[in-house]
Amino acid sequence: MPIEFAKYQGLGNDFILIDNRHSSEPAITPEQAVDLCDRHFGIGADGVIFALPGQNGTDYTMRIFNSDGSEPEMCGNGIRCLAKFIADLEGLEAKTQYRIHTLAGVISPELRSDGQVKVDMGVPRLLAAEIPTTLAAPDAKVIDVPIEVAGKSWSVTCVSMGNPHCITFVEDVSAVALETVGPQFEHNKAFPQRTNTEFIQVVRSDYVKMRVWERGAGVTLACGTGACAAVVAGVLVGKCDRATAVELPGGVLEIEWAEVSGRIYMTGPAQRVFTGCISD
């Protein structure tokens, strides 16, 4: 059966979106997702996202297959794209806010009148067991902890946004050999479920530059959960304000870590690029 799809991007982090409201199981397999994400022989994307029926009172369920076929718990840029996709599907019936079930919990994106999407990303998890990582005792936080990667000692802070992140601060983010260092962080034995890795250059306490190696996708132009985790890490080590702009290769995300509620809010764009049909 032919499958209709839409291509969306959030700061250059691009996804194939599939209307999967007819079934609680994804319409394609992880192996098929790998083929579709291929930028030379497929559609080209960082992942495939499915809009499935909601669970436990939510409006929809989100699942995503990365470009390597793995399934992450959540994707920040992806959920903004999903919110826009859902609104486009619903047309005149579209709401401005949705509750979406993910493997990282319920996430609530809000479509704003200025075209931006603001997402309540929930509360970051900071204990080693929650990330997970063996860099500290299970009930301890991982803040400014040394790790040996690629023949060098790095000082890292670890945060879970429902998916694992390892953040390190550098003098010049453009000088990081991301394609070499990134995979060695991702597959380091200290991270039993692998990890996303963010390299952060602090320009001001309210403005940072970031490059990311995404678990299961490699170098991407943006990572929403990574930007959230980076600001949390920056606050924990005294380098960032609770409201900080994160400049990624694909553009800027506005991140706020609310002091009273402890919740993280991410605001950024999402845009439809084109639509098509998968015939076989």
166 is catalytic: no
What one-character-per-residue DSSP string does the chain give? --EEEEEEEETTEEEEEEE-TT-SS-SS-HHHHHHHH-TTTS---SEEEEEEEP-TT-SEEEEEEETTS---S--HHHHHHHHHHHHHHHGGG--SB--EEETTEEEEEEE-TTS-EEEEEE--B-BGGGTT-SSS-TTSB--SEEEEETTEEEEEEEEESSSEEEEEE-S-GGGS-HHHHHHHHHT-TT-TT--EEEEEEEEETTEEEEEEEETTTEEES--HHHHHHHHHHHHHTTSS-SEEEEEETTEEEEEEE-TTT--EEEEE--EEEEEEEE--
User: Which listed residue (75, 158, 228, 240) is catalytic?
Assistant: 75
CB 52 within 8 A of CB 24: yes
Nearest Cα residue to 67 out of 50, 44, 85: 44
Helix crossing, 224-236 with 76-90: angle to 10°? 140
How far does Cα 55 stand from its chain's mean position? 21
At 256, list the tokens.
């706020």
User: Which listed residue (37, 158, 166, 223) is catalytic?
Assistant: 223
* Strand 105-111 to 100-102 pairing: antiparallel
Which positions are catalytic?
75, 223
